[in-house]
Amino acid sequence: MANLEMRFQVTLTLAVMNFKFLTILILILSLGCKNSNDIKNQNTKINEASIISVLIDELTISFPPPPPPIENSNEPLKPLNLDSLNTVKVRVILDTVFENYSKITKIKSELKDFQYLVDEIPNLKREVMPYKNIKSKKGHTLIFGNSLDKSKTKTPQIIGTSPIAFNKEQTKAAVYAGRTTGKLSAIWDLYLLEKINGKWTIVFRKNIQKA
């Protein structure tokens, strides 16, 4: 009888130890998965901000400053140096909420590796973009809002994007983005980007809407 009780106690002790071990193992695995997801989400936010920064500089119109008053009306106007527009810094509004776009766009066959990303965009959630990390490398001033009224300039412009679809490795991306400069002036394009030498680069653009 004593032997039976001892065996029962040993079995019970082993069972408790195994249960504790499994519990600890599950907790460790859960924390590992959580940390992995946190890192992935953080990388996604960083890549989203980098791509939107590229699109801002791509879409922003550098309106030339007004010409100085002409003192002598007989003197011809000097031709505008178009290259100088690249150095003009402007204020541009960025819509900080990703815009939904439900249509499917077909792209040319040589870019077929991006097609599934384009198809995925309508299924992505409409969320607030990571605007704190977004900046213009050309030095444009960003105003965060969702209306042209946010700008106090005579030539306001607002830029918005759809959610961004990434491949698993986050080296390729597809996104719709556009610019509005008035009620009757707007464009909406599809952009395909690839991370080349650590930098997001536009490899394809297709106009979807123009007004």
Note the pLDDT tens digit of each residue in 119-175.
Answer: 999 999 888 887 788 999 999 999 998 888 777 777 789 999 999 999 999 999 999
pLDDT above 70 for 66: no
**Of 6 and 209, the one with more pLDDT:** 209
Note the pLDDT tens digit of each residue in 13-24.
Answer: 666 666 666 667
**Of 38 and 164, the one with more pLDDT:** 164
pLDDT above 70 for 110: yes
What's the pLDDT at 157?
Answer: 92
DSSP-derived secondary structure for 65-100: PPPPPPS-TTSPPPPP-GGGGGG---EEEE--BPPP
Query: Taking all residues of the chain, what is their mean pLDDT, rounded to a whole number?
Result: 81
What's the pLDDT at 131?
Answer: 79
Note the pLDDT tens digit of each residue in 50-62.
Answer: 999 999 999 998 7
Two structure tokens written together for 28: 């460790």
Q: Give this prediction's pTM.
A: 0.73
Contact 180, 158 (CB under 8 A): yes
